[in-house]
Amino acid sequence: MVLNGQRVIDMDLDAWTEPKKNPDGTPNQFFRALKDFGRRGHVGFQDHGLLIGDRNLRIRPLDAADIRR
């Protein structure tokens, strides 16, 4: 993910192959492997109760070149 021209996260969901376990072996809370979660549908934003404002959000599909960067 790129935010304001800076890469802020780079993650491959296919690396999460086991339920309740991260790729490095540490536990997580998910009862299904993250590779098995749906990858189509609505985009949701997580809220921790703080005031935020968003506008002019743009979501575009990635092509293979974008994914490799």
> Per-residue pLDDT tens for 27-58?
999 999 999 988 888 877 777 888 878 788 88
Domain annotation covers residue 24 = yes
**Does residue 19 sit within a domain?**
yes
Single out the residue of 31, 29, 36 nearest to residue 14, CA to CA: 36
Domain extent for 37:
1-41
Confidence (pLDDT) at 65 = 65
Report whether 22 contacts 16 (CB < 8 A): yes
Task: State residue 66's pLDDT score.
Answer: 60
Residue 56: C-alpha distances to residues 5, 10, 42 (Å):
15, 23, 17
Asked if residue 47 is part of any domain, the answer here is no
Number of independent structural domains in the chain:
1
Please report whether residue 22 resides in a domain: yes
